[in-house]
């Protein structure tokens, strides 16, 4: 009986000694955070400023976007510029400055000629005088202003991959792995793969028509050379997201501007969304989702 009493006293003493440690550990413990859906500023903060201008990129950074998308094309003299369209008519005053050079293809103009264009007034007079920036100018601006938001580079035409990789390498972007690449052209992503470090993601963009036909075969092909798929908003379903994740592919969706769409996609578990308004997603709790298993 005495042995039992001594043993109980020993257990109580041990408990009291260990109690502060247990309580401290409990106080310090936090539940594992749920990964948030990546917010990609579509052509910069293009809902608030003219797309693919330095103003748009600066604003996207201030709005705490996770990535800034930069579409890249080559000029007639081989310079890399940030432009979405193959022609200049929609986002510049090219028809006024060069009225006799229709259809105003980017590839028909030198960089010097492009720099004479106004790329901001079409959006709002407040942005009059904005120029078409080069990729080099975009990277230099972000570095000079200590903006640490990674780039999400889309190669808009095959054949520019080596020049893009060389420029980003020069500025240390590839070394920091602070970049992601996407393209509608499989051959462009395949050309990029040997030019970039391991771990830099490649995302295959697909159109709506393509996304609605032959899903499993398409995913099988993409998984060979890419790390993710970019889907148009109207084509995204839970089955699509589940099938892509089953292949180990990330799912990024374009272009998501309405809160109800964002909430629905985040509930599905998509990995990222492109948005013209990178200030909106951060306010939506639905973008917190459970980790995939």
Which residues lie below 8 Å from residue 5, measured CB to CB, with a gap of 6+?
Answer: none
Beta strands in 120-271 (DSSP E): 151-155, 179-183, 202-205, 228-232, 250-254
Ramachandran sector of residue 257 (left: φ over 0; alpha: ψ -120 to 50; beta: rest): alpha
Rounded Cα gap, residues 261 and 264, in angstroms = 5
The number of residues making up the chain comes to 293
Which secondary structure element, helix H or strand E, spans residue 4, and what is its range? helix 2-28
Annotated active-site residue 52? The verdict is no
Catalytic annotation present for 42:
yes
Tokens (6 digits) for 255: 């272009």
In DSSP terms, 181 is beta-bridged to: 153, 202
Neighbours of 20 (CB within 10 A): 9
Which of the following is catalytic: 48, 52, 84, 252?
A: 84
Measured distance CA(116)–CA(131) in Å, rounded: 8
Whole-angstrom distance, CA of residue 138 vs CA of residue 133: 7
* Catalytic-labelled residue, pool 42, 48, 52, 252: 42
Catalytic annotation, residues: 42, 84
């Amino acid at each position: 009986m005495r042995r039992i009493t001594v043993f109980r006293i020993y257990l109580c003493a041990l408990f009291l000694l260990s109690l502060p440690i247990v309580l401290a550990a409990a106080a310090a413990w936090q539940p594992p955070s749920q990964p948030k859906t990546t917010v990609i500023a579509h052509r910069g903060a293009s809902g608030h400023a003219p797309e693919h201008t330095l103003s748009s990129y600066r604003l996207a950074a201030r709005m705490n976007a996770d990535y800034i998308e930069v579409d890249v094309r080559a000029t007639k003299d081989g310079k890399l510029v940030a432009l979405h369209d193959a022609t200049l008519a929609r986002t510049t005053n090219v028809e006024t400055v060069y009225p006799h050079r229709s259809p105003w293809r980017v590839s028909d103009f030198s960089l010097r000629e492009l720099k004479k264009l106004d790329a901001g007034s079409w959006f709002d007079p407040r942005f009059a005088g904005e120029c078409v920036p080069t990729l080099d100018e975009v990277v230099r601006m972000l570095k000079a202003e200590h903006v640490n938001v990674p780039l999400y580079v889309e190669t808009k035409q095959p054949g520019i991959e080596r020049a893009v990789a060389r420029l980003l390498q020069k500025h240390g972007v590839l070394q920091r792995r602070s970049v992601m690449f996407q393209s509608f052209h499989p051959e462009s992503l395949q050309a990029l793969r040997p030019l970039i470090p391991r771990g830099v993601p490649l995302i295959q963009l697909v159109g709506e028509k393509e996304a609605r036909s032959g899903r499993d075969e398409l995913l099988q092909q993409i998984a060979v050379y890419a790390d993710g798929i970019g889907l148009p908003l109207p084509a995204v379903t839970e089955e699509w997201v589940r099938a892509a994740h089953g292949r180990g592919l990330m799912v990024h969706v374009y272009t998501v501007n309405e809160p109800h769409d964002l909430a629905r996609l985040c509930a599905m578990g998509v990995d990222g969304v492109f948005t013209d308004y990178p200030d909106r997603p951060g306010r939506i709790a639905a973008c917190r989702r459970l980790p995939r298993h």
